[in-house]
């Protein structure tokens, strides 16, 4: 009762006026407290009265140990010292039964001085589960995206820094690395593990004497995908495998809606997941259609933003608007009637008010006239859809045949937003927009993204990374 009462108090606070920092903190608290509520409910249902019961032992628990005068984290048979790494107000992962089982394997591997190897299809939470466990233990976790360009020297530098800092690393898409490099990596990991088992403070690693602190190596893999390598046997023994299945989207959606301040989260989450299932079955198959966990999360975040911006709207209408604004721009014209029919079937009798674009629409029509273009309704709709997409996503992709107006579309939106900002609009969504045009087909991958020089062992930025660095230090406000 007390846990539920505290949770309800936090939900009431979320619906109020909060700063961005306060909202982040309370949403993270709600996400964590929902899991605490589920644990208490499970203990009560199973009538657990003994601390030695496995249902209690399998939970991540924090203890103050007077003998070592420090906080210890206990999880099943593993005992880990609290890390005290301050990471700021970060978001927390929705913890499902799948996450709990994954965490138990990760901490078990850590206690045995082994690495862990979560494997499964994309969007199952392999990387996020690893990162969130490190957050729960207050330990820094460095995520490193692997590719076939990586050699053993680069991995040696990473492991060298890892062991001296005592942090965790998550090597994403580890099986992209070439088989020849993986064999050497196995030997490097065995050297580090032997040092940890013998509790050495310093070891000789690749000919260099380095400090050895407790660390953890987690590798994630997508088996069965093109361009992936089967791990050699001498590397497999360094890791405990973790099989990751597709999680319960409805449960994750329910908790995220709950954390965003929705009271009818259970019903809405079931309807939203049913909508995505029906879309995947009935709509045409296109490479840019996505109904996975990442798409679900982006809709839920948008729904939370809409609820705060329009508190008078009902929760049903708010979620439908988020679903519509996230999905309609990417659907082909033949699929739109089907999508709308599915929405009306799941949410019968609900009238969705149209968005008021006001000054944006007026300026948009003016910029189209200035460019000597025809004011075609479908073209205007696409520009507005792109505007909505950029407000909730870090980026977007314009897809269409040659001559469809893709470049003109973003240029008109750029001119419109810049003109509104210069006109003195107070709407924070209207910012001056700067563009940098790259043609990736005329340059190499190294020239585009950057590459590691094997001779000097230094990183050289590519055009894309140079532009991003320039944008970060740019003093004039605006969007890129």
Mean pLDDT in each 10-residue stretch from start to end of the chain (480 residues)?
A: 80 82 88 88 89 90 91 90 88 88 92 90 86 93 88 89 92 88 90 91 89 92 71 87 87 87 86 90 86 84 83 87 86 88 87 78 89 88 86 80 89 89 80 86 87 80 88 71
Amino acid 105: pLDDT: 92
Tokens of 450: 């950057």
Specify if 351 maps to a domain: no
Specify if 186 maps to a domain: yes
Do 222 and 268 sit in the same domain of this protein?
no
Amino acid 441: pLDDT: 87
Amino acid 104: pLDDT: 93
Asked if 63 and 71 count as a contact pair (C-beta separation under 8 A), the reply is yes
Do 73 and 221 sit in the same domain of this protein?
yes
Please state, in angstroms and as integers, the Cα–Cα distance from residue 261 to each residue in 4, 16, 290, 308, 345, following that order.
Answer: 15, 9, 26, 9, 25
Amino acid 476: pLDDT: 67
User: Which one of 59, 91, 108 terminates a domain?
Assistant: 59
Specify if 448 maps to a domain: no
Specify if 279 maps to a domain: yes
Instruction: Provide the H-helix boundaries in 283-332.
Output: 293-309, 315-327
Tokens of 457: 């062992």
Asked if 306 and 321 count as a contact pair (C-beta separation under 8 A), the reply is yes
Specify if 470 maps to a domain: no
**Residue ranges making up the domain that contains 173:** 69-243
User: Which one of 37, 59, 81 terminates a domain?
Assistant: 59
When divided into structural domains, the chain yields a total of 4
The strand pair at 78-81 and 216-219 is best described as unpaired
Do 371 and 304 sit in the same domain of this protein?
no
Amino acid 262: pLDDT: 86
Amino acid 171: pLDDT: 93
Tokens of 203: 């070891």
Specify if 447 maps to a domain: no
Please tell me the number of Cα atoms within 13 Å of 136 on its side-chain side. 27
Do 199 and 81 sit in the same domain of this protein?
yes
User: Which one of 36, 59, 82 terminates a domain?
Assistant: 59
Do 109 and 27 sit in the same domain of this protein?
no
Which CATH number belongs to the domain containing residue 317 in this structure?
1.10.8.710
Give which of 307, 405, 320, 277 is closest to 328, Cα–Cα.
320
Question: How far is Cα 369 from Cα 56, in angstroms, rounded to an integer?
Answer: 68
Do 233 and 87 sit in the same domain of this protein?
yes
pTM of the model as a whole: 0.82
Amino acid 433: pLDDT: 84
Specify if 453 maps to a domain: no
Question: How far is Cα 129 from Cα 301, in angstroms, rounded to an integer?
Answer: 19
DSSP 404-447: SSHHHHHHHHHHHHHHHHHHT---TT---B------GGGS-HHH
Asked if 114 and 143 count as a contact pair (C-beta separation under 8 A), the reply is no
Do 82 and 31 sit in the same domain of this protein?
no
Do 265 and 338 sit in the same domain of this protein?
yes
Do 275 and 148 sit in the same domain of this protein?
no
Which CATH number belongs to the domain containing residue 160 in this structure?
3.40.50.300
Specify if 467 maps to a domain: no
Q: What angle do CA 125, 130, 131 make, to 5 degrees?
A: 100
Amino acid 478: pLDDT: 63
Question: How far is Cα 269 from Cα 186, in angstroms, rounded to an integer?
Answer: 44
**What order do you get walking across the sheet with 115-119 strand by strand?**
141-145, 168-172, 216-219, 115-119, 239-243
DSSP state of 288: T
Residue 233's φ and ψ, nearest 5 degrees, are -60, -35
Do 197 and 106 sit in the same domain of this protein?
yes
Do 381 and 318 sit in the same domain of this protein?
no
Residue 439's φ and ψ, nearest 5 degrees, are -110, 95
> Secondary structure of the chain: what % helix, strand, coil (to 5)?
50, 10, 35
Do 102 and 188 sit in the same domain of this protein?
yes
Question: How far is Cα 85 from Cα 75, in angstroms, rounded to an integer?
Answer: 19
């Amino acid at each position: 009762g007390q846990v539920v009462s505290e949770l309800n108090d936090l939900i009431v606070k979320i619906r109020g006026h909060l700063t961005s920092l306060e909202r982040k903190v309370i949403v993270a608290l709600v996400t964590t407290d929902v899991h605490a509520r589920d644990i208490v409910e499970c203990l009560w249902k199973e009538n657990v009265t003994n601390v030695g019961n496995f249902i209690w032992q399998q939970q991540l628990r924090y203890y103050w140990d007077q003998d070592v005068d420090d906080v210890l984290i206990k999880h099943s048979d593993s005992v880990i010292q609290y890390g005290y790494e301050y990471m700021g107000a970060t978001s927390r992962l929705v913890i499902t039964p799948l996450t709990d089982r994954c965490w138990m394997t990760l901490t078990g591997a850590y206690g045995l001085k082994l690495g862990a190897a979560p494997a499964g299809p994309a969007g199952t939470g392999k990387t996020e589960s690893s990162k969130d466990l490190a957050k729960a233990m207050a330990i820094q976790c460095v995520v490193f995206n692997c590719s076939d360009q990586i050699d053993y020297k680069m991995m040696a530098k990473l492991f060298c820094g890892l062991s001296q800092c005592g942090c965790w690393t998550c090597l994403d898409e580890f099986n992209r690395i070439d088989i020849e490099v993986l064999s050497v990596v196995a030997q490097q990991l065995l050297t580090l593990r032997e040092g940890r088992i013998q509790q050495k403070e310093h070891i000789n690693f690749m000919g260099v004497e380095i400090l050895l602190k407790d660390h953890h190596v987690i590798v994630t893999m997508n088996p069965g995908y093109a361009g992936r390598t089967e791990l050699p046997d001498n590397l497999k023994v360094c890791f405990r495998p973790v099989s990751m299945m597709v999680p319960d989207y409805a449960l994750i959606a329910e908790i995220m809606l709950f954390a965003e301040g929705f009271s009818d989260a259970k019903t809405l989450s079931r309807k939203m997941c049913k909508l995505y299932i029906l879309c995947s079955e009935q709509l045409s198959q296109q490479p840019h259609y996505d109904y996975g966990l990442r798409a679900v999360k982006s809709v839920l975040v948008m729904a939370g933003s809409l609820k705060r911006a329009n508190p008078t709207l009902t929760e049903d209408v708010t979620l439908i608007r988020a679903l519509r604004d996230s999905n309609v721009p990417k659907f082909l014209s033949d699929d739109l009637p089907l999508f709308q029919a599915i929405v009306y079937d799941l949410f019968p009798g609900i009238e969705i008010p149209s968005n008021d674009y006001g000054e944006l629409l007026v300026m948009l029509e003016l910029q189209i006239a200035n460019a000597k273009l025809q004011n075609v309704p479908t073209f205007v709709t696409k520009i507005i859809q792109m505007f909505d997409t950029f407000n909730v996503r870090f980026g977007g992709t314009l897809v269409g045949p040659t001559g469809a107006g893709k470049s003109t579309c973003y240029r008109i939106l750029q001119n419109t937003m810049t003109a509104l900002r210069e006109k003195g609009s107070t709407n924070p969504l209207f910012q001056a927009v700067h563009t940098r045009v790259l043609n990736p087909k005329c340059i190499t991958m190294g020239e585009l993204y950057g590459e590691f020089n094997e001779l000097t062992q230094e990183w050289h930025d590519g055009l894309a990374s140079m532009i991003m660095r320039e944008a970060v230090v740019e003093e004039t406000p605006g969007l890129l």
